[in-house]
């Protein structure tokens, strides 16, 4: 059905076209040639009424935008054509009669000739009774009758004329329904395309179900919608959203009501307002609890790609009339897209949960063990810095736990569920540094057989830990500075800027200010990294933390070795505290690992502590080309200074650790010419 040049309306049959003049639609009639078109139902040709009414009915169909308005106007045209008191379109289902549309007030539910209607419906032919006449409509919807009520001075129309008019109404109604369904289908597909794109972005099942319910009620003109998902472990159906329910979800037995039947059978079902034999499928107790009245229902199964029913999609109370076959087809199509979105969202939730669990397990393994003032202050600083997006520079000797601190900052931050990527800058040559950090495209260089993401891309949304940053080449420093300032990377051999939101944590065992002054490290990069500086103390300066760490490592390794953790003697503890630990925590950890696997017995003595010989730090090394007296003096000065530093300037504690009285310590310092030798 289409308008030509905005003036005439045409109905295209297989062999001919019926043109309707919108100004005077009754002036056109079907010619004999058009009457012979096979697309025109035979019933129209039984009388004159069909050919005479057809142009007017087509005109009405073009003018009205809804099915209900079309039927009302069409019956008015038919009633005017026959000049009777009233005509109506009646639908009969299992002895129940419902007026779908009417023209004239004298036909109502109380005065219908039900026996006549039943006979006409059963026999499938026109019937008359006094002033009443009825004929079945030859339409896809069974049980529809065109009923006529003649006036007191009239007789009903002949069977041939009534059948001819009914056939014309059937034809135009079918055309109108096709037009409405096509228009509705376009609107539904547009809405479906829009909402599925939104659904695919959802990462939360509850939010997704709410979006689906809102979409369904809007698209299919209903009051409420609920998506039920099957909980097989408890044999219940969980419905969301559930308006009026405090928890926001409705739980019913998996076999209960209409939803239960749909889930069990895998077939769509409806409950119409005027069909009483299915009203028992409505949960009236739920209605009473929610203060709601369910009048009509439409429910379709949710079937996944494996053919398994995982739930049901239910619509409640159509705003006008009952749910139709078209509504059922639309909801079935909607449910098919909904299942895909639900499964994807549930899969994403599982991945997020798994990633969160992995992050929690990893975070539990990262501990900053120690109770000395420096470590307690360090823990507070880490807790403050973690919640920010500031760049952090961690300094300290090798083995002091810089990577552990970086991990703590990551796992205490909002990025804990994202990835932490560690890069040892000293281990990457300058030629490979750019490819390692920024990635490369296929064919960018000789061995680039495929495209590869760089560390910045991998750490996007997470944390990038750049260890040994002081050993990075000058060229690498320049490229790194550009990325830190612009927040974009470009792969080697590529030209597309790739945004990165990785948080940077850098670490070094070198004195960066000295490297800057020696022009070995870029000053601008140093200031870019040095937003927050965390300095880790050496293990020799952490006092009794040595014992806490030793017990922690020894316990872990003994559990791995499946043996009872041995105790440490007082002599062993004293020797541990007195050791200089040139390798810091790494050296202590290795020592405890050897003891866990190689020591025997239930206790560890001082003789079991087999320290690995290592070159002393340059700052504490004693030159071998000097007399013994000078070397002894140098050792004593260094020994006293380290004890004072370890005790954070507390001279009483330092003297006690060296087995001296405080006054004797001051005297010794004066003898050695050390500053601070004057007793307060």
CATH of the domain at 629: 1.10.10
Structural domain range at position 501: 366-535
Last residue of a domain, one of 487, 517, 535: 535
pLDDT tens per residue across span 84-126: 889 988 888 767 888 888 888 888 878 888 889 888 888 888 9
pLDDT above 70 covers what percent of the chain? 80
Q: Angle at the Cα of 408 (from 482 to 486), degrees rounded to 5?
A: 15
- Residue 680 pLDDT greater than 80, yes or no: no
Q: How many CB atoms lie within 10 A of CB 259?
A: 28
Smallest CA-to-CA distance from 268 within 202, 314, 222, 228 is with 314
Render pLDDT for 319-351 as a digit per residue (tens, 0 to 9). 888 888 878 888 888 888 888 877 777 666 666
Taking a C-beta distance cutoff of 8 angstroms, is the pair 603, 567 a contact? yes
* The last residue of a domain, from among 298, 319, 350: 350
Residues 84, 40 share a domain = yes
More confident residue, 609 or 553: 553
Residues 217 and 134 in one domain: no
| pLDDT tens digits along 172-199 | 888 877 777 676 666 666 666 666 666 6
Report the greatest alpha carbon distance in the chain. Answer: 146
Evaluate whether 259 touches 350 at the Cβ level (below 8 Å). no
**Same domain for 641 and 516:** no
Percentage of the chain beyond pLDDT 90 is 18
pLDDT in tens, 221-237: 888 888 888 886 668 88
On whether residue 75 sits in a domain, the answer given is yes
Is 274:308 a contact under the CB 8 Å cutoff?
no
Cα angle vertex 56, ends 50, 60, to 5°? Answer: 125
Distance of CA 408 to the CA centre of its chain: 27
> What's residue 29's pLDDT?
39
C-alpha–C-alpha distance, residues 601 and 612, integer Å:
22
Overall number of domains in the chain: 5
- pLDDT number for residue 39: 56
Q: Are residues 138 and 27 in the same domain?
A: yes
Q: How far apart are CA 334 and CA 316, in angstroms?
A: 16
110 with 156, same domain: the answer is: yes
Q: Do 309 and 435 fall into the same domain?
A: no
What the block records as the tokens of 134 is 């009825």
Beta bridge partners of 10: 2, 19
Residues 235, 266, single domain; the answer is yes
166 and 256 belong to one structural domain: no
Domain-located, residue 237: yes
Would you say residue 380 has pLDDT above 90? yes
Range in 287-296, 395-404, 495-504 the model is least confident about: 287-296
Do 111 and 258 lie in one domain? The reply is no
Residue 617 lies in a domain: no
Regarding whether 227 and 140 lie in a shared domain, the answer is no
Whole-structure pTM value: 0.52
pLDDT at 623 exceeding the cut of 70: no
Same domain, yes or no: 566 and 505: no
Same-domain pairing of 375 and 504:
yes
Is 645 inside any structural domain? yes
Q: How many CB atoms lie within 10 A of CB 395?
A: 19
Would you say residue 630 lies in a domain? yes
């Amino acid at each position: 059905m289409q308008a030509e040049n905005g003036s005439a309306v045409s109905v295209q049959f297989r062999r001919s076209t019926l043109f309707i003049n919108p100004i005077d639609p009754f002036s056109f009639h079907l010619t004999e040639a058009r009457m012979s078109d096979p697309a025109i139902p035979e019933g129209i040709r039984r009388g004159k009424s069909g050919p005479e009414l057809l142009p007017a009915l087509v005109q009405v169909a073009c003018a009205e935008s809804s099915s209900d308005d079309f039927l009302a106007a069409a019956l008015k045209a038919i009633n005017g054509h026959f000049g009777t008191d009233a005509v109506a379109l009646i639908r009969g289902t299992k002895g129940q009669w419902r007026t779908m549309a009417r023209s004239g007030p004298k036909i109502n539910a109380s005065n219908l000739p039900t026996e006549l209607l039943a006979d006409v419906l059963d026999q499938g032919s026109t019937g008359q009774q006094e002033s009443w006449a009825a004929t079945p409509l030859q339409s896809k919807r069974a049980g529809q009758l065109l009923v006529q009520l003649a006036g007191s001075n009239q007789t009903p129309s002949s069977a041939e004329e009534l059948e001819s008019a009914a056939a014309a109404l059937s034809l135009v109604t079918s055309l109108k329904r096709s037009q409405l369904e096509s228009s509705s289908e376009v609107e539904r597909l547009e809405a479906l395309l829009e909402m599925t794109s939104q659904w695919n972005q959802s990462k939360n099942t509850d939010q997704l179900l709410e979006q689906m319910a809102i979409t369904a009620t809007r698209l299919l003109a209903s009051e409420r919608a609920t998506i039920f998902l099957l909980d097989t472990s408890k044999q219940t159906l969980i419905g969301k959203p559930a308006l009026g329910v405090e928890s926001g979800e409705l739980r019913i037995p998996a076999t209960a009501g209409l939803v239960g039947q749909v889930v069990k059978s895998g077939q769509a079902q409806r409950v119409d307002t005027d069909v009483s034999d299915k009203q028992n499928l409505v949960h009236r107790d739920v209605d009473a609890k929610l203060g709601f009245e369910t009048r009509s229902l439409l429910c379709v199964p949710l079937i996944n790609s494996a053919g398994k029913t995982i739930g049901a999609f239910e619509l409640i109370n159509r705003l006008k009339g009952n749910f139709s076959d078209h509504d059922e087809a639309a909801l079935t199509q909607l449910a098919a897209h909904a299942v895909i979105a639900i499964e994807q969202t549930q899969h994403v939730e599982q991945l997020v949960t798994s990633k969160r669990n992995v992050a929690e397990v990893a975070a539990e393994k990262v501990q900053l063990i120690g109770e000395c003032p420096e470590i307690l202050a360090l823990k507070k600083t880490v807790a403050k810095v973690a919640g920010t997006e500031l760049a952090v520079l961690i300094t300290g000797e090798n083995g002091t736990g810089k990577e552990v601190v970086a991990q703590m900052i990551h796992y205490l931050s909002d990025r804990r569920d994202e990835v932490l990527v560690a890069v040892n800058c000293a281990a990457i040559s300058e030629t490979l540094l750019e490819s390692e950090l920024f990635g490369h495209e296929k064919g960018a260089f000789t061995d680039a057989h495929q495209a590869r993401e760089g560390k910045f891309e991998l750490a996007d949304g997470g944390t990038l830990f750049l260890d040994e940053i002081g050993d990075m080449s000058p060229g690498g420093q320049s490229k790194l500075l550009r990325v830190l300032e612009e927040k974009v990377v470009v792969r080697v051999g590529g030209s597309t800027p790739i945004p990165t939101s990785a948080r940077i944590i850098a670490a070094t065992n070198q004195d960066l200010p000295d490297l800057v002054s020696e022009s070995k490290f870029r000053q601008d990069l140093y200031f870019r990294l040095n937003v927050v500086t965390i300095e880790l103390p050496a293990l020799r300066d952490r006092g009794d933390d040595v014992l806490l760490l030793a017990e922690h490592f020894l316990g872990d390794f003994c559990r791995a070795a499946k043996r009872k953790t041995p105790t440490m003697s007082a002599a062993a503890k004293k020797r541990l505290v007195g050791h200089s630990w040139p390798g810091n925590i790494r050296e202590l950890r290795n020592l405890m690992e050897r003891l866990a696997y190689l020591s025997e017995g239930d206790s560890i003595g001082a003789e079991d502590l087999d320290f690995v010989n290592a070159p002393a730090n340059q700052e504490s090394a004693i030159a071998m080309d000097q007399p013994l007296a000078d070397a002894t003096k140098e050792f004593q000065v260094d020994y006293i200074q380290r004890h004072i530093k370890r005790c954070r300037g507390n001279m009483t504690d330092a003297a006690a650790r060296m087995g001296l009285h405080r006054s004797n310590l001051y005297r010794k310092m004066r003898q050695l010419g050390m500053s601070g030798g004057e007793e307060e």
